[in-house]
Structure 1
Amino acid sequence: MWFRMLGSLEMHGPSGEFPIVAQRRQIILMMTLLEANRSVGMDRLMEAVWDDAPPATAKAQVQICISMLRRMLSEAGLPPDIISTTNNGYMVRVPADQLDSLAFADLIRRAYQAVAEHRLSEADEMFHAATGLWRGHGLTTGNSRILRSANVRLVHELVGAVEQWADVRLRLGTHHSLVGYLSELVSHHPLREGLRARLMRVLYQSGQQAEALKVYRNGRRLLVDELGIEPGEELQLLERAILNGAPDTAPQPVATPAVGPMVQVTPRLLPTDIQDFTGHAEPIHQLRQHLLSRDGSPNSVPVVVLCGKAGVGKTTLATHIGHLLADEFPDGQLFVQLNSLSVQPVTVAQALERFLRALGVAGSAIPERLEERAELYRQLLAHRRVLVVLDDAVDEEQLRWLIPGSAGCAVMVTSRFRLTGQPGVTIVNVPVFDQEQAMQLLTKVVGSDRAYAELSECLRLVELCGGLPIGLRIVGARLASRPHWSIGQFVERITDESQRLHELVYRGLGVRATLALTYQVLSETAQRLFRRLALLEVHDFPGWLAVPLLDTSVHEAEEALDELIDAQFLDVERLDRSGRLRFRLHSLIRTYARERLGHDESPGDRSAALARLLGAWLFFTEQAHRKEYGGDHTLLHGKAQRWAVPDNVIERELIDPIQWYESERHGIVGAVCQAARAGLDELCWDLALTSVTLFEAQSFFDDWRVTHEMALVECRRTGNRRGEAAMLHSLGALRLYEQRFAEASLLLRPAQHIFAEIGDRHGQALVLRNLAFLDRAQGRIGDAARRCEQALPLLRAAGDAVGEAHVLGSIAQIELERGDFDAAEPHLTRALELVEVTGSRRIRCQLLCRLGDLQLARGNETDAEETFRSVVKMVQEYGDKVGEMYARYGLGVALARQQCTDEAEAELAKVQDQASYLPHRMLGGQIRMVRGRIQLDHGQADLALQLFSQAQQIFAELEMDTWRVRALLAVGDAYRSRGQGEAASIAWREAMALAGKLDSKIIRPVTAELRARTH
């Protein structure tokens, strides 16, 4: 032959053998010979020599090599035009009998044809001749990546031919001579299970049963150690048959070949299904349904994309479902790992080449052009039922070439991206494991006894891995390989987040490496956003935060956000109450993001991003307060730097400020905490105080307390006196809401002192307003009135219309309690006028409740009922649960006064339970007073006494002596109704003694009633 390359490269001519010493010439000649009689492009030749880094002179160097090869061929006496120049490269023209690789392919094709026609002796001769062309176990590939890939393909053809040759000789009974050759091949290809199975059969049929079993056990040990898997079904059944001395160890008949250089075989390319497959019941159901469905066009191919984040087990699931549906696709399963995100991905052309070979096409018959390969691929799958599994795809372009053209086939794709651009594709999301599924997997890997002995530690591992299967498998594998470790020890190792990804690695499998593949293909902007999302200290977050994190336009931020979603780095968590999407980072992905943040960004960049983030929270929260209150009313602000969120984002997000507040509650609290840790005291107290609108409206008192106490500590640390006073004032207001009046006084008074000291008149006014409430609650009506009068001019000077309206409402309430209804009305009217201008819904509802109280005091129960009903409707519309309680209480009183007993009871019962606990116990006591009067009027003295006694106890605990006097008066009335005069007198005398300590104006009507009863 002129050329031999199956082993080492040799060139022969009439003048004898001509050695080719220069490696570069060897590579170029072998590349042209591999594609003999077809053109090889210049780019392909350069890639073969220099991989992905050709020098600037590469093209010229290839041309020089070709020239030298032509001269050598001529000197050897070979035809001078054997290497010709084509449009885009070069071509070697060589007859099939003058190149061993072409002769090998032709002999193998003819051998398969002979087997199909049952000419076994002829097939034996051809297989013998074909394998004899090999002078080693692989090509001489040098450092060429392309040649190494070609070597794998040719060796695969050799091994396949030897397997078929062994089957033929077993039928002929001449298999003994193959023992040595098969043994040598198995040693070079130890993971080739088909080859090992032939060696076992040949040994067994040669009377060497022990040696056959030894071959199996050696192979099993290698598979378990190297791949962590058991041998396939063929080897396992064969071992069992040999152990049982079964006669059916002969191979199955060889598949019938097709006409031409291809053999119609049934490809079975799926990897082995894992024994401990766990979970994913819902995705499995969806996959079966979609892959087997014929509801669409009768000519369409079902294409299902398994979409999920890195490490969620998409490949494992695809393999599992492929095996489950094997009977539904009797013509075989094709599988290829595209590895699209790896350094050396499998190209579409390479994938088609693999599929064509698996379908029986000889290497020499595979077309060069991509389009022709795709056409042949579709032609071979026509009228066949084959499942095609494309693992780790990255875009729709790959799918376009690899989807069959016939409806009998189906395609299953795994990807970290949502490949919705492919027409007719169905997306099946693969979620992370829930706790139950994660525990099942962990238990299978480490053993049930060990898992249940440390159950709480196992549950902690599940939590730390976030239910991500790859993390759980690594954890399980490390524990299984170290039986002397306790599970608790391993929990300690991975609890430290900075070390977690270092620990989640086992024998080349690692969470970090898996996530890095996705990270590397993101755009620079998406990478930057991903890193900076690690700054967020919340479970979920809104999309608008991407804008300040990137310091860019809304459009660019949204594009980056969408890219992270497509890459499965970001989960779409849920819709908030306003219908807006919220997003979440999986715990292990967040850990990786923090690693990247520390590695890829400078301290200055991190600090700047955090400052923008916190400044945006303050700006947004400030805008929400302004929209709810009509301005910066009832609020103090500091000088912290804001980051202005674009107007269109504000308009889109702040349709309802209270709903926005509630959705962003955890983010705001987290931002306050971050500001405190970062030493941003001014921003910290300002954001905390601005957020009180939310905390107050929705009764989030724990958040109110935590944020303010943290800000107070930071302000005191830095000597920020105004911030300190603001936090003391707001914490005092919180104590008032909680009806812890003694504690409120201890906070409000030093706040007043600091505001006076620094000359902050607005701050003084706000504290006076709260001190007035404290005085009124404890029966010091005169002091309350004086403080309100002091606060009014200060609030007007500050332009705080809502604060002024609030104080006017308090004055009206004081006059109501004094019984001076005419004095109350103008204050109330003016207050309502002020809030109408600002548009503050919450204060308006509070003032309308005051109006309802005034109407009740004047005996206008019908008007009062209408007023309270309107307030109930308003507070329900914007979700003010506290306001609803007080409005329903007023409505219940109005209905009771009109003798609508059942309806009054119904309204009061709706809110009594929730008003029985802090911070609304006072209202709970007042409700019991009204319900007690209703029961007493209906002759239910026992129940009335119970309600009055409960109310009296509540007012006593709250130190609300005015209401306690009223409750004691009612207790006496209940005793009298029961005929217990002495008990009634004791209650009335206690009330009289307490009343003597209170403001004479407010208690005068009650005192008159007491004197009448005690006499």
Structure 2
Amino acid sequence: LGRFLRGLGVAADAVPADLDEAAAMWRSLLHGHRVLVLLDDAADLAQIRPLLATPFGTTLLVTTRETLPWGEDSHQLELGRMSPAESAAMLAGLAGEGRVRADAGDTAELVRLCEGLPLALRIAGARLAGRPDWSVATMAHRLADERRRLHELVVGDLAVRASLAASFAALERSSRPVDRLAARTLPLLGLLHVPDITAEAAAALLGADAADADLALERLTDAHLIELVRPGHYQPHDLVRLFAGELRPRDAKKPLLRAFAYYAASTRAASLVIDPHRVHRGPAVEAAAHVVRDREEATAWLLEEENVLTSAARQALASEDDEIAVLGLRLTFALEWSQQRTFRTADMIELGSTAVGVCERLGATEDLLHAHGMLSAGLRMRGRIEEAVEHLRAELAIARRLGDAFAEQRALGNLANTHFNGEHFEQAIAFAEQQLELADRIGARVGARYARLILGEAHEACGRPERAREILAPALADAEEAGDRTNEAQLLVVLGRVQMALHEPEKALSLYLAALREVRFTSTRTRALIELSRTYRVLGELDLALAHVTEAVAGADGVLQLERAAEDEQAAVHEARARRV
């Protein structure tokens, strides 16, 4: 305020020492004049409050890194990132329009690396202007290396790192507890390589409760160091993430252990709520988990967090720290059923393959058994049958070496299913019979039902529908008694195929519709839709057939066998409709 008064002609020794008196003099000097006052980079409202009470005719333009609680007579404009077109125009103004237009693809990449942030774009443009021998591609290439990006975004006294450091330092030096908590949170966010983060996950990093973590995230949002990307999910810009990574705390392991444990425990807990009858690989992780009340909440949470969980598993598996890598295994195995339901076969194969390598490095034999099993499931779903069989044989050998009868019967069942998918029906029957004998002997009801499912499918495929029905009927009764809705739906679909083979399409129709009521996202639903289309086509209901097969095609992405079956059925429906016309 004193500087403003002196700028308006007040002698230095005439500036009041009292703040209220100085503010009154400020208002008096402005009275009757039309003045635009620019207050650049205000730290907080307290810093500029004495300047805010101005007479009519005076306008204050305030820029700030913070979201501040302005009064009713103010208009607040939040400046987000610049659009690609605006960013390119800014670069063109600094580095030359012809130069920028000549390298449209490289310009787009440079804009992406600068994230539409004006300061980063200004620095990149200024550096290009000062280096006429550089192309836009040269600048983009220099920024492409994350380890060097902040080092490159410096020109003169302008630096992205310095700007971010100023915002961080303001929080760190603040006397407010929420500011200091936010300052402690930002470096921890740099530890996790995930698309976004929730208050619960941040709480795990902090070792605090979710309410405090939420306050910290909101404070970082107000400071424009992170942004709300969807309800309850926060994300730092890449440049902020790189800056946060440079603030890595001395003991980074403990926060990471807590975060990965939270992700693993939450994923397994949600999967168990969705389907308590499915067998989950490996031991559970003892940690606070996200709470879901029912199947719908659990399914929604897993779908919403799927990319985050996969990224977290990928990061943990890549760690050289054994404890973190083991949590990566727990999270990877916990994801298996969710990824099967959503057909994320590429992720299953990637994580499963990495898990095999981690287990071999750690000498973790039991986990290696599970890793081979998970990897085989992804390979089978992608139609890579021979590779899947190879990993299942490795799983079976380990199970027998460990004397783990339950794991042995599970491997036998998966070998049966994989051979069935490869249309090696007699081999499928042989492995399923071995599983059934062992599962009955050790009292593994879910394993026995699965063996009967594969046996029924294989016998139906071999043209023995009556034998298939004999095998499937007791399995369906057992699934209904156990409340195993997933297994029940699988059995209903196969029994529907049996009824079609016995020329009873109306009975098949009721079985398929019953299966649809039991499942929402699994491959079983897609199979039921394909079979419903076939049945409606046989019954001459071609519009209904088309509706069901269209949904099946949309849902089959990621599973080669289902993709082919759905596309073949869709072609058959279109052919039937063409003949009718």
Q: TM-score range by the shorter chain?
A: 0.7 to 0.9
Q: Is the 8 A contact 2:489 2:514 kept in 1?
A: no
Cα gap change, 1:845 to 1:543, in 2 (>3 Å): farther
1:282-361 correspondence to structure 2 within 5 Å: 350=1, 353-356=2-5
- Which of 436, 455, 465 is the matching residue for 2:85? 436
Task: Give the match for residue 549 of structure 1.
Answer: 205
Q: Is the 8 A contact 2:120 2:160 kept in 1?
A: yes
Cα gap change, 1:785 to 1:488, in 2 (>3 Å): closer
Task: Give the match for residue 264 of structure 2.
Answer: 618
- Which of 543, 549, 569 is the matching residue for 1:927? 569
Cα gap change, 1:407 to 1:853, in 2 (>3 Å): farther
Report deviation, 1:764: 1.4
Cα gap change, 1:453 to 1:799, in 2 (>3 Å): farther
Cα gap change, 1:643 to 1:555, in 2 (>3 Å): farther
User: Aligned with 1:573: secondary structure?
Assistant: strand
User: Aligned with 1:541: secondary structure?
Assistant: coil
Distance of 2:491 and 2:131 partners within structure 1: 70
Percent pairwise identity? 28
- Which of 497, 509, 518 is the matching residue for 2:158? 509
User: Aligned with 1:515: secondary structure?
Assistant: helix
Report deviation, 1:806: 3.5
Distance of 2:293 and 2:26 partners within structure 1: 51
User: Aligned with 1:656: secondary structure?
Assistant: helix
Q: Is the 8 A contact 1:475 1:504 kept in 2?
A: yes
Please state if 1:584 is matched with 2:272. Answer: no
Please state if 1:716 is matched with 2:331. Answer: no
Report deviation, 1:590: 1.2
User: Aligned with 2:291: secondary structure?
Assistant: helix
Task: Give the match for residue 885 of structure 1.
Answer: 526
Report deviation, 1:488: 4.6
Q: Is the 8 A contact 1:548 1:643 kept in 2?
A: no
User: Aligned with 1:651: secondary structure?
Assistant: coil
Report deviation, 1:748: 1.6
Instruction: Please say which structure displays the higher CA radius of gyration.
Output: 1
Distance of 1:853 and 1:658 partners within structure 2: 29
Task: Give the match for residue 911 of structure 1.
Answer: 552
Distance of 1:896 and 1:760 partners within structure 2: 47
User: Aligned with 2:333: secondary structure?
Assistant: helix
Report deviation, 1:758: 1.6
Task: Give the match for residue 100 of structure 1.
Answer: none
Instruction: Give a deviation string over 1:650-686, Cα, whole Å, max 9, x none.
Output: 2389863333223222322222322232233533333
Task: Give the match for residue 310 of structure 2.
Answer: 669
Cα gap change, 1:516 to 1:442, in 2 (>3 Å): same
Task: Give the match for residue 537 of structure 1.
Answer: 193
- Which of 284, 299, 306 is the matching residue for 1:658? 299
Distance of 1:626 and 1:611 partners within structure 2: 22
Instruction: Give a deviation string over 1:886-939, Cα, whole Å, max 9, x none.
Output: 222222233234332443344335535875982424523762696499579x68
- Which of 280, 283, 289 is the matching residue for 1:635? 280
Distance of 1:500 and 1:932 partners within structure 2: 54
Please state if 1:595 is matched with 2:246. Answer: yes
Please state if 1:703 is matched with 2:347. Answer: yes
Q: Is the 8 A contact 1:403 1:411 kept in 2?
A: yes
Q: Is the 8 A contact 1:564 1:570 kept in 2?
A: yes
Cα gap change, 1:861 to 1:552, in 2 (>3 Å): same
Report deviation, 1:854: 4.9
Q: Is the 8 A contact 1:849 1:868 kept in 2?
A: yes
User: Aligned with 1:687: secondary structure?
Assistant: helix
- Which of 288, 291, 298 is the matching residue for 1:645? 288
User: Aligned with 1:390: secondary structure?
Assistant: strand
Q: Is the 8 A contact 1:806 1:831 kept in 2?
A: no
Q: Is the 8 A contact 2:488 2:515 kept in 1?
A: no
- Which of 539, 558, 571 is the matching residue for 2:227? 571
Please state if 1:762 is matched with 2:406. Answer: yes
- Which of 479, 491, 496 is the matching residue for 2:145? 496
Cα gap change, 1:466 to 1:757, in 2 (>3 Å): same
Task: Give the match for residue 868 of structure 1.
Answer: 512
Mean Cα deviation higher: 470-479 or 513-522: 470-479
Q: Is the 8 A contact 1:538 1:670 kept in 2?
A: yes
Q: Is the 8 A contact 1:704 1:734 kept in 2?
A: yes
Amino acid at match of 2:569: I
Q: Is the 8 A contact 1:908 1:927 kept in 2?
A: yes
Report deviation, 1:398: 4.1
| TM-score in terms of structure 1 length | 0.51
Cα gap change, 1:795 to 1:637, in 2 (>3 Å): farther
Distance of 2:417 and 2:113 partners within structure 1: 49
With a CA cutoff of 8 Å and minimum separation of 6, indicate the structure with the bigger relative contact order.
Answer: 2
Q: Is the 8 A contact 2:346 2:378 kept in 1?
A: no
Distance of 2:294 and 2:154 partners within structure 1: 42
- Which of 449, 472, 483 is the matching residue for 1:824? 472
User: Aligned with 1:583: secondary structure?
Assistant: strand
Task: Give the match for residue 194 of structure 1.
Answer: none
Instruction: Give a deviation string over 1:309-348, Cα, whole Å, max 9, x none.
Output: xxxxxxxxxxxxxxxxxxxxxxxxxxxxxxxxxxxxxxxx
Report deviation, 1:707: 0.8
Mean Cα deviation higher: 798-807 or 702-711: 798-807
Distance of 1:848 and 1:425 partners within structure 2: 65
- Which of 369, 374, 385 is the matching residue for 2:18? 369
Distance of 1:803 and 1:374 partners within structure 2: 81
Instruction: Give a deviation string over 1:484-540, Cα, whole Å, max 9, x none.
Output: 445555445444333332332222221121111111122443222211211222333
How many residue pairs were aligned? Answer: 566
Report deviation, 1:416: 1.4
Distance of 1:494 and 1:718 partners within structure 2: 36
Distance of 1:469 and 1:873 partners within structure 2: 53
| TM-score in terms of structure 2 length | 0.85
Write 1 or 2 for the structure with the bigger share of helix: 2
Task: Give the match for residue 467 of structure 1.
Answer: 116
Q: Is the 8 A contact 1:570 1:584 kept in 2?
A: yes
Distance of 2:61 and 2:517 partners within structure 1: 54
Distance of 1:448 and 1:735 partners within structure 2: 50
Report deviation, 1:622: 1.2
Report deviation, 1:793: 6.4
Please state if 1:445 is matched with 2:94. Answer: yes
Gaps of 5+ in 2: 172-178
Distance of 2:149 and 2:570 partners within structure 1: 56
User: Aligned with 2:228: secondary structure?
Assistant: strand
Cα gap change, 1:810 to 1:397, in 2 (>3 Å): same
Q: Is the 8 A contact 1:728 1:751 kept in 2?
A: yes
Q: Is the 8 A contact 2:270 2:292 kept in 1?
A: no
Report deviation, 1:756: 0.9
Task: Give the match for residue 346 of structure 1.
Answer: none
Q: Is the 8 A contact 1:731 1:744 kept in 2?
A: yes
Gaps of 5+ in 1: 1-349, 575-579, 941-1015
Amino acid at match of 2:287: A
Report deviation, 1:550: 1.0
Please state if 1:894 is matched with 2:535. Answer: yes
Cα gap change, 1:654 to 1:568, in 2 (>3 Å): farther
Task: Give the match for residue 217 of structure 2.
Answer: 561
Report deviation, 1:404: 3.0
Distance of 2:148 and 2:530 partners within structure 1: 56
Please state if 1:397 is matched with 2:46. Answer: yes
Q: Is the 8 A contact 1:816 1:824 kept in 2?
A: no
Q: Is the 8 A contact 1:812 1:827 kept in 2?
A: no
Distance of 1:425 and 1:804 partners within structure 2: 71
1:158-169 correspondence to structure 2 within 5 Å: none
